[in-house]
Amino acid sequence: MEIFVDFGLFEILVAAGLARAAGRLYASRLAAGGLLLASVAIPAALIILGSSELTRWLAAGALATALVNAAFIVTVLRRPPVERQP
């Protein structure tokens, strides 16, 4: 039980901070490419290095999700940059 009721204010602030951090990370094409490569390479490595069948199936699910996300991010990164307002 919470000591005081905050109506999710802290959760909203954390989500807004993470969104801002992700925006700054993906503003750099080099950082975006590195994160994109890591998000696909790590599940692929887990499929190869997994010791049990369950681990490999979970890694395959993670890889499928990462590939869908990567396709979307690559599409967004290929668009011309939009000027930000201060």
Instruction: Count CB-CB contacts under 10 A for residue 18.
Output: 10
Tally of structural domains, the chain: 1
C-alpha 45/C-alpha 30 separation (Å) is 22
Q: Is residue 65 part of a domain?
A: yes
Tens of pLDDT, residue by residue over 8-38, are 788 899 999 999 998 888 788 888 888 889 9
Tens of pLDDT, residue by residue over 2-16, are 566 667 788 899 999
Q: Is residue 63 part of a domain?
A: yes
Q: Is residue 73 part of a domain?
A: yes
- Rg, C-alpha atoms of the chain: 18
Q: Is residue 53 part of a domain?
A: yes
Q: Residue 45: pLDDT band by 50, 70, 90 thresholds?
A: very high
Q: Is residue 20 part of a domain?
A: no
> b/e per residue, 46-67, with b = 16+ CB within 10 A?
beeebeeeeeeeebeebbeebe
Burial class (CB in 10 A: 0-12, 13-18, 19+), 43: buried
Q: Is residue 19 part of a domain?
A: no
